[in-house]
Protein backbone atom coordinates (compact mmCIF):
# COMPACT_ATOMS: atom_id res chain seq x y z
CA UNK A 1 0.00 0.00 0.00
CA UNK A 2 1.27 3.44 -0.93
CA UNK A 3 1.61 5.78 2.09
CA UNK A 4 2.46 9.47 1.73
CA UNK A 5 4.22 11.28 4.56
CA UNK A 6 3.92 15.05 4.99
CA UNK A 7 5.69 16.98 7.75
CA UNK A 8 3.88 19.64 9.80
CA UNK A 9 5.31 22.01 12.38
CA UNK A 10 2.51 23.11 14.69
CA UNK A 11 1.91 26.85 14.56
CA UNK A 12 0.65 28.87 17.52
CA UNK A 13 -2.60 29.86 15.76
CA UNK A 14 -3.50 26.16 15.40
CA UNK A 15 -3.79 25.71 19.17
CA UNK A 16 -6.51 26.46 21.69
CA UNK A 17 -6.32 28.01 25.17
CA UNK A 18 -4.89 24.73 26.52
CA UNK A 19 -1.98 24.90 24.06
CA UNK A 20 -3.31 21.83 22.24
CA UNK A 21 -4.08 21.73 18.52
CA UNK A 22 -7.72 22.71 18.07
CA UNK A 23 -9.66 19.66 16.87
CA UNK A 24 -10.91 21.17 13.59
CA UNK A 25 -7.34 21.77 12.44
CA UNK A 26 -6.85 18.03 12.02
CA UNK A 27 -9.32 18.14 9.13
CA UNK A 28 -7.15 20.80 7.48
CA UNK A 29 -4.12 18.57 8.04
CA UNK A 30 -6.00 15.63 6.51
CA UNK A 31 -6.57 17.77 3.42
CA UNK A 32 -2.88 18.68 3.30
CA UNK A 33 -1.98 14.99 3.45
CA UNK A 34 -4.59 14.04 0.84
CA UNK A 35 -3.38 16.74 -1.56
CA UNK A 36 0.22 15.63 -1.06
CA UNK A 37 -0.73 12.02 -1.81
CA UNK A 38 -2.54 13.05 -5.00
CA UNK A 39 0.47 15.16 -6.02
CA UNK A 40 2.76 12.18 -5.40
CA UNK A 41 0.64 10.15 -7.84
CA UNK A 42 1.35 12.85 -10.42
CA UNK A 43 -2.09 14.46 -10.45
CA UNK A 44 -3.48 17.84 -9.39
CA UNK A 45 -6.88 18.33 -7.82
CA UNK A 46 -7.08 21.66 -9.68
CA UNK A 47 -7.03 19.76 -12.99
CA UNK A 48 -10.10 17.86 -11.80
CA UNK A 49 -11.84 21.12 -10.91
CA UNK A 50 -10.85 22.65 -14.25
CA UNK A 51 -12.61 19.69 -15.92
CA UNK A 52 -15.82 20.53 -14.01
CA UNK A 53 -15.51 17.73 -11.45
CA UNK A 54 -15.35 18.20 -7.66
CA UNK A 55 -14.89 15.71 -4.85
CA UNK A 56 -17.05 16.50 -1.82
CA UNK A 57 -16.50 14.88 1.56
CA UNK A 58 -19.38 12.58 2.49
CA UNK A 59 -18.10 11.35 5.86
CA UNK A 60 -15.23 12.02 8.28
CA UNK A 61 -14.13 9.98 11.28
CA UNK A 62 -11.49 11.25 13.72
CA UNK A 63 -10.07 9.56 16.81
CA UNK A 64 -7.94 11.62 19.21
CA UNK A 65 -5.35 9.58 21.09
CA UNK A 66 -2.59 11.94 22.27
CA UNK A 67 -2.42 15.75 22.28
CA UNK A 68 -0.37 17.66 19.74
CA UNK A 69 0.96 20.96 21.05
CA UNK A 70 2.43 24.20 19.76
CA UNK A 71 5.99 23.67 18.53
CA UNK A 72 5.59 19.92 18.00
CA UNK A 73 6.65 18.45 14.70
CA UNK A 74 4.35 15.74 13.42
CA UNK A 75 3.88 13.74 10.25
CA UNK A 76 0.64 13.20 8.39
CA UNK A 77 0.56 9.71 6.95
CA UNK A 78 -2.06 9.39 4.21
CA UNK A 79 -3.15 6.41 2.13
CA UNK A 80 -6.11 5.05 0.24
CA UNK A 81 -8.05 2.90 2.67
CA UNK A 82 -10.75 1.84 0.21
CA UNK A 83 -11.50 2.60 -3.41
CA UNK A 84 -14.54 1.46 -5.40
CA UNK A 85 -14.16 3.53 -8.57
CA UNK A 86 -16.93 5.81 -7.29
CA UNK A 87 -16.06 6.38 -3.63
CA UNK A 88 -12.60 6.84 -2.14
CA UNK A 89 -11.84 6.46 1.56
CA UNK A 90 -8.56 8.03 2.60
CA UNK A 91 -6.86 6.94 5.82
CA UNK A 92 -4.78 9.22 8.03
CA UNK A 93 -2.45 9.09 10.99
CA UNK A 94 -0.95 12.11 12.70
CA UNK A 95 2.29 10.84 14.24
CA UNK A 96 4.70 12.48 16.70
CA UNK A 97 8.45 12.48 15.98
CA UNK A 98 8.92 9.59 18.43
CA UNK A 99 6.45 7.46 16.45
CA UNK A 100 3.53 7.88 18.86
CA UNK A 101 0.20 8.11 17.05
CA UNK A 102 -1.71 11.24 18.07
CA UNK A 103 -4.75 11.12 15.79
CA UNK A 104 -6.24 8.64 13.33
CA UNK A 105 -9.04 9.18 10.88
CA UNK A 106 -10.69 8.58 7.55
CA UNK A 107 -12.58 10.68 5.06
CA UNK A 108 -14.95 9.47 2.34
CA UNK A 109 -15.17 11.31 -0.99
CA UNK A 110 -17.21 10.93 -4.16
CA UNK A 111 -16.89 12.66 -7.52
CA UNK A 112 -19.66 14.86 -8.85
CA UNK A 113 -20.08 17.17 -11.79
CA UNK A 114 -19.80 20.70 -10.47
CA UNK A 115 -22.78 22.12 -12.38
CA UNK A 116 -25.31 19.34 -11.64
CA UNK A 117 -23.82 17.58 -8.60
CA UNK A 118 -24.54 14.30 -10.42
CA UNK A 119 -22.21 11.56 -9.29
CA UNK A 120 -19.58 10.30 -11.71
CA UNK A 121 -16.82 7.73 -11.47
CA UNK A 122 -13.10 8.37 -11.34
CA UNK A 123 -12.72 5.43 -13.71
CA UNK A 124 -14.77 7.23 -16.36
CA UNK A 125 -13.64 10.82 -15.76
CA UNK A 126 -9.91 10.21 -15.15
CA UNK A 127 -8.80 6.68 -16.18
CA UNK A 128 -5.10 7.23 -15.33
CA UNK A 129 -6.03 8.50 -11.86
CA UNK A 130 -8.26 5.44 -11.42
CA UNK A 131 -5.35 3.12 -12.27
CA UNK A 132 -3.04 4.93 -9.85
CA UNK A 133 -5.58 4.50 -7.03
CA UNK A 134 -6.04 0.80 -7.76
CA UNK A 135 -2.27 0.31 -7.81
CA UNK A 136 -1.80 2.31 -4.60
CA UNK A 137 -3.88 -0.21 -2.67
CA UNK A 138 -1.73 -3.18 -3.66
CA UNK A 139 0.71 -4.49 -1.03
CA UNK A 140 4.16 -2.92 -1.26
First to last CA, the chain: 5
Chain mean pLDDT for the chain: 95
For residue 33, the model assigns a pLDDT of: 98
Q: How far apart are CA 140 and CA 123, in angstroms?
A: 23
pLDDT in tens, 81-108: 999 998 999 999 999 999 999 999 999 9
User: DSSP states of 28-81 as a string?
Assistant: HHHHHHHHHHHHHTT--HHHHHHTTEE--EEEEEEEE-S--BTT-EEEEEEEEE
For residue 139, the model assigns a pLDDT of: 82
72 is catalytic: no
The residues near 58 (Cβ < 8 Å, ≥ 6 apart) are: 87, 108, 109, 110
For residue 138, the model assigns a pLDDT of: 85
* Domains of the chain with bracketed CATH: 3-136 (3.10.129.10)
For residue 77, the model assigns a pLDDT of: 98
Q: How far apart are CA 30 and CA 62, in angstroms?
A: 10
For residue 130, the model assigns a pLDDT of: 94
List, for the chain, all residue ranges whose pLDDT scores fall below the cut of 50. Answer: none
Among the options 16, 39, 47, 59, which is catalytic?
Answer: 16
For residue 129, the model assigns a pLDDT of: 94
Half-sphere exposure of 7 (CA within 13 A, CB side): 5
φ/ψ (deg, to 5) at 70: -50, 135
Amino acid sequence: MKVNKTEIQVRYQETDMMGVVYHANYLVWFEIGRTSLIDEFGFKYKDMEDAGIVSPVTDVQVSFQKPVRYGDEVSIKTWIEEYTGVKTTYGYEIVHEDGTVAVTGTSDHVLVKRDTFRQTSLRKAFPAWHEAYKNAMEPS
